[in-house]
A and B are shown apart, each in its own frame.
Chain A
Amino acid sequence: MTTLPPLPMTRPKLTSLARQKLPCSPTTAPRSQLIKEKNDIDHYLEENFKGLSKEEVAAYRNSYKKNIYVDMLRDGYHKSFTELFSLMEQWDAVRDPARFGSLFLQRPLEEQRDKLDHFYHYLTRAEVAERKEYFEDVYNNLYALACYFNNSEDRWVRNHFFERCFKIAQLIKMDGGKKEAEAHGNMGLLFEEDGQLLEAAEHYEVFHQLTHGRMWKDETGRFLNLLACESLLRTYRLLSDKMLENKKYKQAIRILIKAAEIAKEGNDRKMEGEASYYLGLAHLAAGEYETALTVLNTYSKISTELDDDLSLGRAYEAIAKVLQSQGEMTEAIKYLKKVVKIARNNFQNLDVVRASTMLGDIYNEKGYYNKASEYFQQAFDTTAELTNIPLMDETKVHYGIAKAHQMMQTVKNYIESADLTSLDYLLSWKESRSNIAPDPITAESRRSTMENLPQNSEHLEEELSGFPDIQKNET
């Protein structure tokens, strides 16, 4: 939806008077005519008449709102009057009850002259068109009014006009249903913003059906069909998200399959790919790994076709997750390494973090604590660049856990041997919580990590104190 440029509007008489400043010496002939009540005003008096006609008095005395109303009624536009009147009543009702904060922020409508002018202009034109039964004109005017009110505080006005557009569009038969389709799209948007996704989906479906195969374009030049597909996919995705939250997997998958079909019809590879991605995620959530894999493979193929590294990265990550759930760790690791490479090439730090964390996790579970801590360190360093505090904390936790696991073997040996040197080492470690003296047996593995220990000792303290249960599980 676009906003129209400010039109040079035909302002009604009273309001144009109200907007002018009072001239000191009126020289316009019409004014003297207005004031003239006796039939003999000579030229001198006409030039220098310092007075106000009745209309000017009215224009200054009454509120701008009243002027608009009177102008509307004077020309016989009673339907515009009724509609504006009821809208104003609703406006007051919306503003009044106990909303003291917004009450001060929002100026009363009487003072917002531009809005009132717009109302007058478009509503009267719509009424004229309605009388002559040019429903397209009516639709256009109402739509323009709706676009004008497309800001956050006047949203309900816009919705009201969308509904009216919709009713009018149903009556338009001449253009093969284009306006009707657009109206359905608008209603879908209305419901989507409101959160009523089912109704939104219904309207978007009708929109899609009507625009199927037609080459209509909207005002920005984009194909209506494409717009319909996108909106429909978006709504389906939102719906399925909600359903996944409620664990209704079958329904979610059904909807996403529908979405994928629609995307295929839409002939847009990117949308198709995205649809497959979400379908794959849904399958994963439902536990159907095989189908998830097939779908995600399609997605990765499409992404490579489109040369889209980011989506390729997403695809590989998802595949890795599936493989991880299936238990195919080596495959998963392969994919994840690919992801890390792609992400690093494209400076996608968040993805790097995520992928490294997942890698580290896998290695951690398998027991390769060195590799695990290596990857976690990568992740931590990247988050340090990002300065995203919650993320940093999370990666710190993982890193600390991995380090603890690394130490675990040494500590265990020390405890078991229980000779004086080992006890000494243990005590010093407990006191300082920094380095633990290298165990001669496992010295090599320790060396690589010695430099890093002082850096991360504080983190370790936090983590180790905070996660004693992890250690308990491991031992």
Chain B
Amino acid sequence: MNVIYPLAVPKGRRLCCEVCDAPAERVCTACTVTYYCGVVHQRADWGSIHEKICQLLIPLRTSMPFYNSEEERKHGLQQLQQRQHLIEFCYTVAQKYLFEGKHEDAVPAALHSLRFRMNVHGLSSVELVPAYLLLAEASLGLGRIVQAEEYLCQAQWTVLKSTECSYATHSLLHRNLGLLYMAKENYEEARYHLANDIYFASCAFGTEDIRTSGGYFHLANIFYGLKKLDRADTLYTKVSEIWNKYLNNHYQVLSQARIQQIDLLGKRFETDTGLDEAQEAEAIRILTSIWNIRESTSDTAPQKTIFVLKTLVMLYHLMMNSSKAQEYAMRALDLAREQQLSDQEQNSIQDLLSLISAEDAHPVT
């Protein structure tokens, strides 16, 4: 049975819904420690994140708060560490949903992340800020601007009050503020905040890092929206260059390692991008949108389109998604032929294509 009667609950104990904090009427039968106010919310949560963390929640939520022996104290410590892991996991899942554009699904996951962080770090710690930012982004995606603004104000206040906020957090905060103002169409403010974002990201990671590229991308979007195409253009070029360099480097390192390892083990390395899922999703989104924009101007500057396409090809190849990789490579080749670019370009694309097909033919053992 998965229906709960609120009145039957012991006195003083209030069971609240995971998603909306209303009095709970239902319980998840798989784990029996998660409560919901209705079917709608239960379904939403299950689809979003509960499916993945269902069993993990059990030890967390049934722990005895009274530690009367050494084992239980150790148990308590372990729980705390598990929570940490859970936080990261929720956070990543929520981010991935956001980058894929599934804002609805992102919300429960982000809420979980927030709640766990509150449990571990307290109510006004800096650690809460990334969770707030995620929620804000999700709300923005769903079009709930007021709610997003609320979350962002909370985040900003926390940042202002705390003394050791890292550059990365500042950068993320400003990025979200920038996105908020973009949604509100206040482009001046948006530019200001994105400029801050890029500055902090550069302080934290360097000016040519992939994490800084997000800021550049959004700034470019603003300029594109304002029809200042030359500025948008240079910024897009910069973004594609950053990603291209990163992927190239990664690929070189991998192939080097593979050449060395293949003698010892006779096994082949799995290719990977070195990014986590959220970053991969972000990369895909950024590069695809740049490509779309370039498509519209491909007559005047085909090299740039081809550049982006090659980067995309490499990304998909490293993500082991060879069908998409091939598709993009074919497109690049066609474009090159159409525009009658130099033989060098065509040859390089051909090489890339053959490389991918070769990889395809020898599947990873």
Report which A residues bind B (CB closer than 8 A).
Answer: 54-55, 58, 66, 69-76, 78-79, 81-82, 85-86, 131-132
The answer to whether A76 and B231 have CB atoms under 8 Å apart is yes
The answer to whether B207 and A74 have CB atoms under 8 Å apart is no
What interface size band does chain B fall in?
20 to 34
The answer to whether B207 and A70 have CB atoms under 8 Å apart is no
The answer to whether A76 and B199 have CB atoms under 8 Å apart is no
Q: Which residues of B contact A79 (CB under 8 A)?
A: 234
Chain B nearest CB: distance from A33 CB in Å? Answer: 11
The answer to whether A78 and B202 have CB atoms under 8 Å apart is no
Q: Is B46 interfacial (CB-CB < 8 Å)?
A: no
Chain B nearest CB: distance from A38 CB in Å? Answer: 15
What is the bound-complex CA distance between A70 and B200, given in angstroms? 10
List the A residue with the shortest CB-CB distance to B174. A70
Q: Among B196, B198, B230, which residue has its beta carbon within 8 angstroms of that of A81?
A: B198
Of all A-B residue pairs in the complex, the 7 with the closest CB atoms, nearest first, are A73-B195, A76-B231, A70-B195, A74-B195, A74-B191, A82-B207, A69-B199
What is the bound-complex CA distance between A81 and B208, given in angstroms? 12
Q: Is B155 interfacial (CB-CB < 8 Å)?
A: no
List the B residue with the shortest CB-CB distance to A72. B195
The answer to whether B216 and A78 have CB atoms under 8 Å apart is yes
List the B residue with the shortest CB-CB distance to A86. B207
8 contacts between A and B (CB under 8 A): A70-B196, A73-B219, A76-B231, A76-B232, A78-B198, A78-B234, A86-B207, A132-B230
What is the bound-complex CA distance between A74 and B218, given in angstroms? 12
Q: Decide if the interface of chain B is mainly helix, strand, loop or mixed.
A: helix
Q: Is B192 interfacial (CB-CB < 8 Å)?
A: yes
List the A residue with the shortest CB-CB distance to B203. A85
A76-B207 CB under 8 A given contacts A55-B192, A69-B199: no
The answer to whether A69 and B230 have CB atoms under 8 Å apart is no
Q: Is B194 interfacial (CB-CB < 8 Å)?
A: yes
Q: Is B307 interfacial (CB-CB < 8 Å)?
A: no
Q: Which residues of A contact B234 (CB under 8 A)?
A: 76, 78-79, 131
Q: Is B238 interfacial (CB-CB < 8 Å)?
A: yes
A85-B231 CB under 8 A given contacts A70-B195, A74-B195, A76-B223: no
Q: Is B17 interfacial (CB-CB < 8 Å)?
A: no
The answer to whether B192 and A131 have CB atoms under 8 Å apart is no
A85-B230 CB under 8 A given contacts A76-B223, A76-B235, A78-B235: no
Q: Mark B185-210, 1 if CB is under 8 A from A, else 0.
A: 00001011011101100100001100
What is the bound-complex CA distance between A86 and B195, given in angstroms? 17
Q: Among A74, A76, A85, which residue has its beta carbon within 8 angstroms of that of B192?
A: A74
Chain B nearest CB: distance from A135 CB in Å? Answer: 16
Q: Which residues of A contact B196 (CB under 8 A)?
A: 70
Q: Which residues of B contact A86 (CB under 8 A)?
A: 207
Q: Which residues of A contact B231 (CB under 8 A)?
A: 75-76, 131
What is the bound-complex CA distance between A70 and B192, given in angstroms? 7
Q: Which residues of A contact B238 (CB under 8 A)?
A: 78
Q: Which residues of A contact B267 (CB under 8 A)?
A: none
List the B residue with the shortest CB-CB distance to A127. B234
What is the bound-complex CA distance between A7 and B1, given in angstroms? 81
| Contacts A78-B219, A81-B202, A81-B207 known; 19 new A-B pairs at CB < 8 A | A55-B192, A58-B192, A70-B192, A70-B196, A72-B195, A73-B198, A75-B231, A76-B219, A76-B232, A76-B234, A76-B235, A78-B234, A79-B234, A82-B207, A85-B202, A86-B207, A131-B230, A131-B234, A132-B230
The answer to whether A73 and B194 have CB atoms under 8 Å apart is yes
Q: Mark B308-347, 1 if CB is under 8 A from A, else 0.
A: 0000000000000000000000000000000000000000
Q: Which residues of B contact A131 (CB under 8 A)?
A: 230-231, 234
Q: Which residues of B contact A69 (CB under 8 A)?
A: 195, 199
Q: Is B73 interfacial (CB-CB < 8 Å)?
A: no
What is the bound-complex CA distance between A131 and B223, given in angstroms? 15
Q: Which residues of A contact B202 (CB under 8 A)?
A: 81, 85
Q: Which residues of A contact B219 (CB under 8 A)?
A: 73, 76, 78
Q: Which residues of B contact A82 (CB under 8 A)?
A: 207-208
Q: Is B285 interfacial (CB-CB < 8 Å)?
A: no
Chain B nearest CB: distance from A183 CB in Å? Answer: 24
Q: Among B189, B208, B228, which residue has its beta carbon within 8 angstroms of that of A76?
A: B228
Chain B nearest CB: distance from A30 CB in Å? Answer: 12
What is the bound-complex CA distance between A76 and B220, given in angstroms? 8
List the B residue with the shortest CB-CB distance to A84. B207
What is the bound-complex CA distance between A185 and B169, given in angstroms? 48
List the B residue with the shortest CB-CB distance to A71. B195
What is the bound-complex CA distance between A78 and B208, given in angstroms? 11
What is the bound-complex CA distance between A85 and B238, given in angstroms? 16
List the A residue with the shortest CB-CB distance to B189. A54
What is the bound-complex CA distance between A191 and B242, given in angstroms? 33
Q: Which residues of A contact B223 (CB under 8 A)?
A: 76
